[in-house]
C-alpha cells in the first residue's frame, strides 16, 4: 500500500544539537548517515551523554557536515551557536561555551561511519512523523505554530491520505522507501520534556507535553529500525508492507 512521499530528511550530526535538512542521504545500519555520530560525554555522570534534558540551550546550536559523505571518516562538522558564531567540532572554544552553559565538564566523542552503535545513541535507528499528525496535534495544542523540530524526527512523511495518527497502526510492518531502503516500524515513540523546548528560542512550553500525555497517551511518531540500507531522497515514495 502506498502511504505517501518523503517530505523532509533531517539528521543530527551532534546529539541534542539542532540538525540539518538534506535532500538525499544514505541509510546506514544505525540510521541516517552521521546521525548522532558526535556526542558530548557528561563527565559528572559516568557513561552518560550531555543532552537537552540537562542543558536545554543545546537545542539552539545547529550542526551540519561540511563535505560529502565518506565511508572512511565523517566530514568536518560546523557548529552555529545561538549567538551566530561558527565553530568547529572539537575546538576548545566550543568546549568552554558548553561547559559554561551546562555547568559541568564535558568531553568530545565521535564515532566512525561504520561503527556508530545502532540503537545506542537514540532508542532506535530512525524516528518518523507524518504531516497529517503534526497538523492535527497543532490543532489540539492550540497555542501557536508547532515546529516539527521539537520532535527531532529523521523523516517527515507526507501522507497520501491525510489521516492523523494513521502511522500508529503500522507497528510490526515494513516501510519501503524508494527502490533500495526498507525499514521495520517497531513502536510508537514515548515523549519526554524535550518537546517542550522551542528550538528557535529555547523557551519552555510545558503545555505541549501535557497535551501529548492527555490526548495521545504520551506518544507521537514512530521508531523504525533498518532492514535494508541504501540511498533515500526527498520525494521518494513509501510503500507499507506486511512482514
Q: Tell me how far apart the alpha carbons of residues 82 and 161 are, in angstroms, rounded to a whole number.
A: 38
pLDDT tens string, the chain, 243 residues long: the values are 999 999 999 999 999 999 999 999 999 999 999 999 999 999 999 888 999 999 999 999 999 999 899 988 999 999 999 999 999 999 999 999 999 999 999 999 998 887 776 544 566 899 999 999 999 999 999 987 899 999 999 999 999 999 999 999 999 999 999 999 999 999 999 999 999 999 999 999 999 999 999 999 999 999 999 999 999 999 999 999 998
Cα angle 215, 216, 220 (rounded to 5 degrees) comes to 140
Do the Cβ atoms of 191 and 209 come closer than 8 Å?
Answer: yes
Cβ atoms within 10 A of the Cβ of 22, count? 19
CATH code linked to domain 2-241: 2.40.33.20
Instruction: Give residue 143's pLDDT.
Output: 86
pLDDT score, position 119 = 44
pLDDT at 72: 87
Measured at the alpha carbon of residue 121, what is the angle toward residues 186 and 151, in degrees to the nearest 5? 65
Look at residue 144 in the predicted model and tell me its pLDDT: 78
What are 43's three cell numbers? 563527565
As given in the structure block, the three cell numbers for residue 150 are 521539537
Q: Where are the domains of the chain?
A: 2-241
Residue pair 124/224 in contact by the 8 Å Cβ criterion? yes
According to the model, what pLDDT value does residue 120 have? 46
Amino acid at each position: 500500500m502506498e502511504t505517501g512521499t518523503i517530505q523532509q530528511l533531517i539528521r543530527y550530526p551532534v546529539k541534542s544539537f539542532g540538525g540539518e535538512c538534506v535532500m538525499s542521504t544514505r541509510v546506514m545500519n544505525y540510521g541516517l548517515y552521521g546521525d548522532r555520530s558526535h556526542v558530548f560525554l557528561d563527565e559528572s555522570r559516568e557513561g552518560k551523554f550531555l543532552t537537552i534534558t540537562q542543558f536545554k540551550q543545546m537545542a539552539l546550536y545547529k550542526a551540519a557536515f561540511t563535505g560529502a559523505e565518506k565511508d572512511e571518516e565523517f566530514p568536518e562538522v560546523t557548529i552555529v551557536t545561538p549567538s551566530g558564531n561558527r565553530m568547529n567540532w572539537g575546538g576548545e572554544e566550543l568546549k568552554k561555551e558548553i561547559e559554561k552553559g551546562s555547568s559541568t565538564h564535558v568531553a568530545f566523542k565521535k564515532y566512525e561511519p561504520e561503527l556508530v552503535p545502532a540503537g545506542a545513541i537514540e532508542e532506535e535507528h530512525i524516528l518518523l512523523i507524518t504531516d497529517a499528525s503534526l497538523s492535527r496535534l497543532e490543532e489540539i495544542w492550540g497555542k501557536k505554530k508547532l515546529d516539527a523540530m521539537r520532535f527531532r524526527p529523521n523523516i517527515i512523511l507526507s501522507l497520501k491520505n491525510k489521516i492523523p495518527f494513521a502511522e500508529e497502526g503500522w507497528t510490526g510492518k515494513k516501510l519501503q522507501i524508494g527502490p533500495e531502503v526498507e525499514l521495520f516500524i517497531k513502536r510508537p515513540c514515548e515523549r519526554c520534556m524535550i518537546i517542550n523546548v522551542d528550538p528557535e528560542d529555547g523557551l519552555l512550553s510545558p503545555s505541549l507535553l501535557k497535551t501529548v500525555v492527555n490526548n495521545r497517551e504520551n506518544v507521537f511518531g514512530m521508531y523504525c529500525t533498518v532492514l535494508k540500507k541504501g540511498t533515500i531522497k526527498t520525494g521518494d515514495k513509501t510503500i507499507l508492507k506486511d512482514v
